[in-house]
Amino acid sequence: MELNKYRIMWLFVFFDLPTDTKKQRKDYMRFRKNLLKDGFSMMQYSVYIRHCASRENAEVHIKRVKSFLPPSGLVNILRITDAQFGLMEAFIGKSKTAIPEVSYQLEFF
């Protein structure tokens, strides 16, 4: 299978979880730790991203995120191609900056 910028996927997980009670904070931490354990990197607060070699691989990770969703709060999952990811513009204040480096995890199939 040939890798190209239209087959390679990026997964974004956006979440807004309640942290009012001790149980909610525990659920929040468990969700965040599971994202990290599954190879996601924090892009900014409550936004985590993961590189996937293919659409099929992205589906595996989407199912995994769904399996550890917290009991309350809002979670959104977005998948985009590597070509679309390359069009992102990042700013700190009004100054344009390079897209933050994310760790690429070596995957064996």
Cα 103 to Cα 34: distance, rounded to the nearest angstrom: 16
For the chain, domain boundaries: 9-94
What's the CA angle centered on 70, arms 61 and 34, to 5 degrees? 45
pLDDT computed for residue 5 by the predictor: 81
Residue 11 has pLDDT above 50, yes or no: yes
Paired residues of 95 in beta bridges: 92
> What is residue 92's three-state secondary structure?
strand
pTM as predicted? 0.84
Question: From 3.40.718.10, 3.50.50.60, 3.20.20.70, 3.30.70.240, which CATH number describes the 9-94 domain?
Answer: 3.30.70.240
For the stretch 25-84, pLDDT in tens is: 999 999 999 999 999 999 999 999 999 999 999 999 999 999 999 999 999 999 999 999
The predicted structure's pLDDT at residue 109: 47
